[in-house]
């Protein structure tokens, strides 16, 4: 049985705000040392699938550099297929940017079906979960399915964000509604699809010929297969799964990891999440530093009389004496100067937060209100960035006008691209 995995990694991820201003959503750092795409890649190799194609589109440079030849995942092996990154290309016949998820697969299907894999496993590159695909493959074969969809129960109040399935007593899918305003159930589509190759080939071609289609798996391919009475089944998954498509869900998934009993098992040595890492020395902090319920990565230095609570401190982060970081995610090589207070914020790589600056604050309400600071930014001393305000990438002190960025405001650099280093 030959199985090929296809990871859809072309998402622009605009709902992640400044985090995707310079990178594709699957390349966004996660949990300090990882990137989001590490999770589907690791799920593949841990499930014994070593033939993987990654479909990239939006700002693919970080993604391509991170995946490289696939060595960290043991995917630098041509004899099993290894890993290949495919991007949009100009061909003799009509081709263009990917319009939807199904169009991305259709445009590359001549590569995907090469060597005739029996099954094609299609995954999203921007979900956080640890899943063994072997039981799903066995389920698919036992049911003689044309398509098996990975499913999970979500809170009913969030169900309108997902594709919602109806099934019979044997898990055969009887209905599929993409993001219904009034969901009939809470059985949600995970974005994990296992197709028989011939079924996928036929479905994609029919979809391509339909001028009214969005060329999307959730909106078109799956509902059409269900309507045609193809053998579509729902595979029930009961582990941790999070679609980190918004900066609120991105932040929440980090807070989930810091809970006393996290559902995401990062420390399971039987299911390692592999990644490409840089060399950093061990983390260091003096006795007077107060650190609670946090993840501290290699190379981090936390100064005297600092306080770090419920936060993720990425590699190479420096927190100067007297600073406070609460419920925040601080990405690689950022420097937080003395006296700064960071609360419910996400600060991207290589930023500098000036002395006594204040980024966000803890608001005890049902809504997740975060302050965001983009990559390569400088926030001046004594400056205030309110919750729901964003500082764009490459912003320097001369780009600021007032002493506060209010909720809903977005500050971006006024420099020309050739002035940015």
Quick one: pLDDT band at residue 92, thresholds 50, 70, 90?
very low
- In 87-146, beta strands by DSSP E: 119-124, 127-129
* Confidence band, pLDDT 50/70/90 cuts, at residue 418: low
Is 344 part of a structural domain of the chain? Answer: yes
Q: Are residues 136 and 205 in the same domain?
A: yes
Going by C-alpha positions, the residue among 420, 247, 275 that lies closest to residue 348 is 247
The DSSP H or E segment spanning 202 is: helix 197-208
Residue 302 falls inside a structural domain: yes
Strands, E assignment, 107-231? 119-124, 127-129, 147-153, 163-167, 173-178, 187-196
Together in a domain, 107 and 195: yes
3-state secondary structure of 177: strand
Mean pLDDT within 317-336:
98
Comparing CA positions, the residue from 98, 117, 96 lying closest to residue 53 is 117
pLDDT of 11 over the 90 cut: no
In a domain, 11, yes or no: yes
Three-state DSSP at 394 gives: coil
Helix or strand run (H / E) with residue 66: helix 61-67
pLDDT at res. 106: 85
Angle at CA of residue 334, ends 333 and 340, nearest 5°? 150
- Closest C-alpha to 342, from 356, 355, 324: 324
Dihedral Cα 245, 324, 335, 354, nearest 10 deg: 110
If asked whether residues 224 and 298 sit together in one domain, one would say no
Question: Which region among 86-90, 133-137, 214-218 has the lowest average model confidence (pLDDT)?
Answer: 86-90
- DSSP symbols for 396-419: -GGG--SSEEPTT-EE---S-GGG
User: For residues 130 and 95, what is the distance between their CA atoms, to the nearest angstrom?
Assistant: 35
| CA-based nearest residue to 121, from 276, 253, 235 | 235
Euclidean distance between CA atoms 53 and 142, whole angstroms:
26
Check which CATH number belongs to the domain holding 130 and give it. Answer: 3.90.550.10
**For residues 329 and 348, is the Cβ–Cβ distance under 8 A?**
no
* Same domain (yes/no): 156, 198: yes
Question: Is 51 within a domain?
Answer: yes
Give Cα separations from 349 to 18, 180, 336 (angstroms).
11, 37, 12
Q: Which two tokens stand for residue 107?
A: 């445009």
Q: What are phi and psi of 6, to 5 degrees?
A: -125, 120
Output the average pLDDT for the chain.
Answer: 92
Higher pLDDT, 50 or 108: 50
What are 372-417's pLDDT values in tens digits? 999 999 999 999 999 999 999 999 999 998 899 999 999 998 876 7
Distance separating alpha carbons of residues 27 and 19, to the nearest angstrom: 10
The residue range of the domain holding 348 is 290-419
Per-residue pLDDT of 196-242, as tens digits, reads: 999 999 999 999 889 888 889 999 999 999 999 899 999 999 999 99
In-domain check, residue 277: no
Q: Are 21 and 393 in contact (CB under 8 A)?
A: yes
Are 18 and 110 members of one domain?
yes
- Same domain? For 202 and 297 the reply is no
Structural contact between residues 103 and 8, judged by C-beta atoms closer than 8 angstroms:
no
Q: What does the pLDDT look like over 108-134, one tens digit per residue?
A: 888 898 889 999 999 999 899 999 999
Same domain for 197 and 124: yes
Q: What is the pTM of this model?
A: 0.93
User: How many domains are there within the chain?
Assistant: 2
């Amino acid at each position: 049985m030959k199985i090929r995995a296809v990871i859809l990694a072309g998402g622009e991820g605009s709902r992640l705000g400044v985090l995707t201003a310079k990178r594709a959503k699957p390349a966004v750092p996660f949990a300090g040392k990882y990137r989001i795409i590490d999770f589907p890649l690791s799920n593949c190799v841990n499930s014994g699938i070593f033939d993987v194609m990654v479909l990239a589109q939006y700002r693919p440079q970080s993604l391509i550099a991170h995946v490289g030849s696939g060595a960290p995942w043991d995917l630098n092996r041509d004899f099993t297929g290894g890993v290949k990154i495919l991007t949009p290309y100009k061909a003799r016949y009509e081709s263009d940017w990917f319009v939807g998820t199904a169009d991305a697969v259709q445009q590359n299907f001549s590569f995907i079906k090469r060597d005739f894999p029996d099954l094609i496993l299609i995954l999203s590159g921007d979900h956080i979960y640890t899943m063994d695909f072997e039981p799903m493959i066995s389920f698919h074969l036992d049911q003689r399915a044309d398509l098996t969809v990975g499913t999970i129960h979500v809170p009913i109040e969030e169900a309108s964000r997902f594709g919602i399935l109806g099934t019979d007593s044997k898990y055969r899918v009887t209905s599929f509604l993409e993001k219904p305003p009034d969901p009939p159930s809470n059985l949600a589509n995970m974005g994990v699809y296992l197709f028989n190759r011939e079924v996928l080939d036929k479905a994609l071609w029919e979809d391509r010929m339909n001028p009214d289609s969005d060329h999307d798996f959730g909106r078109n391919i799956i509902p059409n297969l269900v309507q045609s009475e193809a053998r579509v089944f729902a595979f029930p998954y009961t582990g941790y799964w999070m679609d980190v498509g918004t900066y609120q869900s991105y932040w929440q998934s980090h807070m989930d990891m810091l809970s006393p009993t996290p559902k995401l098992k990062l420390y399971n040595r039987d299911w390692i999440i592999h990644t490409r890492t840089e060399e950093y020395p061990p983390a260091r902090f003096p006795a007077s530093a107060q650190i609670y319920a946090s993840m501290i990565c290699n190379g981090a230095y936390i100064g005297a009389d600092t306080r770090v609570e419920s936060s993720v401190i990425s590699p190479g982060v420096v927190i100067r004496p007297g600073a406070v970081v609460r419920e925040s995610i601080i990405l690689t090589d950022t420097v937080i100067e003395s006296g700064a207070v960071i609360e419910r914020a996400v600060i991207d790589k290589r930023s500098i937060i000036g002395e006594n600056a204040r980024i966000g604050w803890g608001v005890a309400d049902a809504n997740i209100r975060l302050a965001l600071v983009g990559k390569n930014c400088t926030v001046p001393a004594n400056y205030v960035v309110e919750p729901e305000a964003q500082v764009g990438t490459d912003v320097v002190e001369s780009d600021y006008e007032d002493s506060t960025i209010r909720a809903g405001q977005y500050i971006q650099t006024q420099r020309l691209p050739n002035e940015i280093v």
